[in-house]
Structure 1
Amino acid sequence: MLKKIGRLFVIKTRLEACLIIYALGVGAMARGMAYLDHYPGIGGKLLLVACSGSVFLAGAKIFDCLRYEQAAAEAAKQAS
């Protein structure tokens, strides 16, 4: 039963990855806009850029891991 629940939290396709990255981006931009309100000027702008940059880094890592896992599964399938 726990394996069935655990599979819900595994990213299997690029579409799922894109949806997760989109959600991360929306949240990060909302947080960045809040930083602009709290810290006017260059400080708020730098925090906004940091928020958007973190989404780019996370998205790249998600796509790389997804590609690696798919290649490993393909190699395991061919080895069997």
Structure 2
Amino acid sequence: MWTKVKRLFVIKTRFEAYLIIYGLALGAMTRGAHYTVEYPGVGGWLLMAATAGAVFLGGAKILDAIRYEQEAKKAAEADEQAAQ
């Protein structure tokens, strides 16, 4: 039963990754908009840029990790078939 619950929290496809990244970006831009109000001027805009940059870096890492996991799975399957 726990394996079924754990599978809900695993990103398996690029589509799921894009949905997660979209949610992160939406929250980050909302936070960035609050920063521009809370810290008027250049400081607020720099903090908003930092929140956007964090989403770019995190999103790239998520997409790279998915690609790596899919390639590793294919390689393991190929090795298993070669061993038979």
Superposed pair shares fold, TM > 0.5: yes
User: Structure 2, unaligned stretches of length 5 or more?
Assistant: none
1:43 matched to 2:43? The reply is yes
Which amino acid in the other structure matches residue 11 of structure 1? I
Q: Distance in 2 between matches of 1:62 and 1:14?
A: 9
Q: CA deviation at 1:8?
A: 0.5
Deviation at 1:38, TM superposition (A): 0.3
User: For the aligned residues, what is the CA RMSD?
Assistant: 0.4
Report Cα offsets for 1:33-72 as digits up to 9, x if no partner: 0001100001000000000000000000000000000000
In structure 2, C-alpha distance between the alignment counterparts of 1:41 and 1:60, rounded to whole Å = 29
Match of 1:25 in 2: 25
Q: How far, CA to CA, are the matches of 2:3 and 2:31 in structure 1?
A: 34
Aligned residues: 80
User: TM-score scaled by structure 2?
Assistant: 0.94
TM-score (norm 1): 0.98
> 1:58, 1:18 → 2: CA distance?
11
Where does the alignment leave 5 or more consecutive residues of structure 1 unmatched?
none
* Partner Cα separation in structure 1 for residue 9 and residue 58 of structure 2: 16
